[in-house]
Chain A
Amino acid sequence: GDSVTQMEGPVTLSEEAFLTINCTYTATGYPSLFWYVQYPGEGLQLLLKATKADDKGSNKGFEATYRKETTSFHLEKGSVQVSDSAVYFCALSGDTGNQFYFGTGTSLTVIP
């Protein structure tokens, strides 16, 4: 069945460092891919999405490219800030399935 595998954390970075959080997926057909962010004690917020191969989703300096050949959707940011400290979830929604599939989440802490 469909699934998402996400890089385990926690990840700790200094401010202005480069961020990569790896995400790979398994799916039949052509799923849509998402990154969500969760701040402490809150629900999930959509960060970015991509709906087809080679699409690049971007928002707030974060980017991820839908790579069908490597079945990946890695999250990147060139220069992280303390305010980026949160848990990040990779997710998949299939085109024939009836569920969303979430990764286990990666906790990011950015220190000044």
Chain B
Amino acid sequence: DGGITQSPKYLFRKEGQNVTLSCEQNLNHDAMYWYRQDPGQGLRLIYYSQIVNDFQKGDIAEGYSVSREKKESFPLTVTSAQKNPTAFYLCASSIAVAKNIQYFGAGTRLSVL
């Protein structure tokens, strides 16, 4: 089945630690996205990528980094510079950026120990 796989489902970060969230898609989509969702709130865009080896900052990129070395993969690193990382992180992909449906993974819940 085609889809988007996020792992792990739950992740814990220690103080000062970097952690990486995985996002893989087998939909052959060019565009991929990372969103952050806080309790009772909407989605905020962290980073997006329109094509391999290219990515752009979203509204809340500080304290996060991404890479797009392969079309299928768009990992997100939450760095120690992100002081409030506890949230639900959602990865999405679409055929292209404009006017296209975004398909979402099941999410990763990150908590701080």
Contact = CB atoms under 8 A, between A and B. Distances in A.
A87 B45 CA distance: 18
Interface residues of B, number: 27
B98 A34 contact: no
* Of listed A31, A91, A96, A100, residue having the most chain B CB within 10 A: A100
Interface residues of A, number: 27
A96 B90 contact: no
B98 A44 contact: no
Given A89-B43, A104-B42, A105-B41, A43 B104 contact: yes
Given A43-B90, A43-B104, A43-B106, A99 B99 contact: no
Interface string B87-113: 000101010011111111111010000
Contact of A93 (B4, B41, B98, B103): B98
Nearest to A98: B97
A45 interface: yes
B99 A51 contact: yes
Contacts of A99: 45, 48, 58, 97
A81 interface: no
B56 interface: yes
A34 B92 CA distance: 15
Contacts of A46: 101-103
A93 B97 CA distance: 8
Interface string A87-112: 00101011111111011110100000
A93 B48 CA distance: 14
Interface of B: 4, 6, 33, 40-43, 45, 48, 50, 56, 58, 90, 92, 94, 97-107, 109
5 contacts: A43-B105, A89-B42, A94-B98, A95-B98, A103-B42
